[in-house]
Amino acid sequence: MINEGKGGNVFEEELSRRSARVYEYLSRDIYRKRFHPQHIQQAVYSYINMGGKSLRPSVL
């Protein structure tokens, strides 16, 4: 594995930390309330809640 440290793969650990930050950021009410009507909000957040497509925002 690349960059293995005491706790395992450093890259995967950092990716997990950044993913958590991105999801926390996107889940804030200030952003959630911007999507109207309710079914649009549900569609947007169902995509986010699937857990995919988080590499690009986590790298930025």
Q: Which tens digits make up the pLDDT trace of 4-24?
A: 556 569 988 988 898 888 888
Give this prediction's pTM.
0.56
What mean pLDDT comes out for the span 14-37? Answer: 86
Specify the number of domains making up the chain.
Answer: 1
Instruction: Please check whether residue 21 is in contact with residue 58, taking contact to mean a CB–CB distance below 8 angstroms.
Output: yes
20, 7 Cβ separation under 8 angstroms: no
- State which residues form the domain around 29: 4-59
35: Cβ contacts below 8 Å, ≥ 6 apart: 41, 44, 45
Residue 50: CA count within 13 A, CB half-sphere:
7
Between CA 14 and CA 44 the distance in angstroms is 26
Rg (the chain; Cα; Å):
15
